[in-house]
Amino acid sequence: MVDPTLTVFKNMLLLSDLEEVNRHTDNGHMPERLRMYWDSYRLGQGLSQATRERRRQEFQKYQELTGVLFRAGVPLLAGTDAPEPYCPPGFALHQELELLVEAGLTPVAALQAATINNARSLKQDKHLGSIEAGKLADLIILDADPTADIRNTRKVVHVVRGGIVCDPQTLLKAVPAR
């Protein structure tokens, strides 16, 4: 099994100096103190345009390799190493799923990378990773189909954690000092 952590490679290691990364709307959900730390960590400040372009091409190659692995039947995982700089916990997983689909995975395969494949890698698939009787199940309830468009994983209506149904906006308000 391979965990490409595309979000880490894009957001932290290669392209953190780009506005699309360091000012991504997902980052706004994080506490200001964490964002300030991320900004001080930013790699690549002051890079030449040529270096930025090489890094963008490097990331594109990495994404292409992820697609090659998928087409070859290698089981892929979805991971984010959150809270690495510009990898906001929870939100970075949405980004990772989107990047996996851009790499050539189907939306279903990307969802499996985040669920059953991760459970299998931890040898916990008898308890986690799919919705079945007798398994533990923390869920997000969406108002759109993520198999039609992986970005629909962002359309969260409810979060179910430990059997308790939560409103996602209430959870976001609990994040300190946004």
39 belongs to a structural domain: yes
The 10s digit of each residue's pLDDT in 116-171 is 999 999 999 999 999 999 999 889 999 999 999 999 999 999 999 888 999 999 98
CB-based contacts of 148, cutoff 8 Å, min separation 6 = 107
113 belongs to a structural domain: yes
Task: State pTM to two decimals.
Answer: 0.92
**Mean pLDDT for all residues in the chain:** 91
Rounded alpha-carbon distances, angstroms, from residue 18 to 79, 87, 150: 22, 14, 23
67 belongs to a structural domain: yes
Number of structural domains, the chain? 1
Q: Which domain holds residue 102?
A: 6-131
